[in-house]
Structure 1
């Protein structure tokens, strides 16, 4: 564990502890020697973190202290960097652009020592094999899900049969090789899954559906399993 991560964990442990925590307890939790904990406590106190206490008695964090808003561990930075790059697999330009924006915003707030780990991580994420949708705007589809707006679409199934449908978009399921729209289909009077790359044309309607999205999602997920 990097020392920066250990310092963060010490603060987090003291923040939630109901009583003073001894150096021995902290050392056991973080799997280091007690003398390392004493040095870490001294470092935090020198950085004006309001830790009070003494060796043998335990340490407490004075009430009211808040961590800086962007303190990440190495694993958290890796998770953000990899996750943002995995979004590219989805063939959703809006989400991909948003992911890049998130990385840029976080990078400007991170110290120099961590910025490179965020922007140039030593990880490679494959492109995946999801087909790019042509007949539907995924950003508009996500907005329709949020706004409970109905969707008219022309859909072509695996056998090449085309149908026009009005559906209630409920959710999206992202897989490595496909993106599915989960919806209630007015034509079939039932839940259906639609591969977005098979949507030939689509229009978000002004008309809204009134059913509870949480209920619809639970019922749709039951079908997805």
Structure 2
């Protein structure tokens, strides 16, 4: 186990413990020497981590402490950074902005994984969906708040219809963001490419009481799984 990984695990052990732990207990948990634990606890204290105690007495983590920007192993850091950059493909400005802020906080991840612009780890934005930011924001808010939306939608054949939808969830594909919804016009579950909405507006009608049930029915009928292909944008 590397020193970075060991310090991370040490913080986790102290956060989980409801009492002070002796250095020997921690050393046994991490399978290292007592001297190493004394040295690691001193290092954490020097970095500002609120580890209280001292050698020969015991150590405790001050309550309410959460990890600072963030301590990952190399592979964990690569996974997080790649995932954050993949959000750029959604076209959702709010998510892209949040991802950029999150990436800027990964101080330790950068130290572990190396330069954030390492040319061996690139994410292409080619072919990303071109949905309007205001449409994405309206759809995402409606999903979260469980309110119905009125929409004007152009399907893959160019036909335009007006719909009243109960938006249930967003599905992010590499080349499209898809809304799964209950459609009042078709009286069934339907899928809509978000970039094919021509107009969209929230209503004052809530379906919060039925939202969980509708999502469960959709998952069952569609056989949802992480590799679910769906019927992208059939409306």
Residue 101 of structure 1 aligns with which residue?
101
Q: Distance in 2 between matches of 1:7 and 1:115?
A: 13
1:82 positional shift? 1.6
Change (3 A) 1:208 1:13: same
What is the TM-score with the length of structure 1 in the denominator? 0.75
Residue 50 of structure 1 aligns with which residue?
52
Correspondence 1:114 to 2:118: no
Correspondence 1:209 to 2:174: no
Q: Distance in 2 between matches of 1:149 and 1:176?
A: 27
Structure 2 stretches lacking a partner, 5+ long = 46-50, 224-235
| Preserved CA contact (<8 Å) 1:84 1:99 | yes
Residue 12 of structure 2 aligns with which residue?
12
1:94 positional shift? 2.8
| Preserved CA contact (<8 Å) 2:38 2:55 | no
Structure 1 stretches lacking a partner, 5+ long = 28-33
Residue 131 of structure 2 aligns with which residue?
133
Q: Distance in 2 between matches of 1:147 and 1:67?
A: 29
Q: How many pairs are equivalent?
A: 210
Correspondence 1:26 to 2:30: yes
C-alpha RMSD of the superposition: 3.3
Q: Distance in 2 between matches of 1:45 and 1:13?
A: 16
1:156 positional shift? 2.5
| Preserved CA contact (<8 Å) 2:128 2:174 | yes
Residue 158 of structure 2 aligns with which residue?
160
1:139 positional shift? 1.1
Q: 1:173-198 CA distances to partner (integer Å, 9 max, x unpaired)? A: 11123221011111111211112232
What is the TM-score with the length of structure 2 in the denominator? 0.72
Correspondence 1:189 to 2:187: yes
1:172 positional shift? 0.5
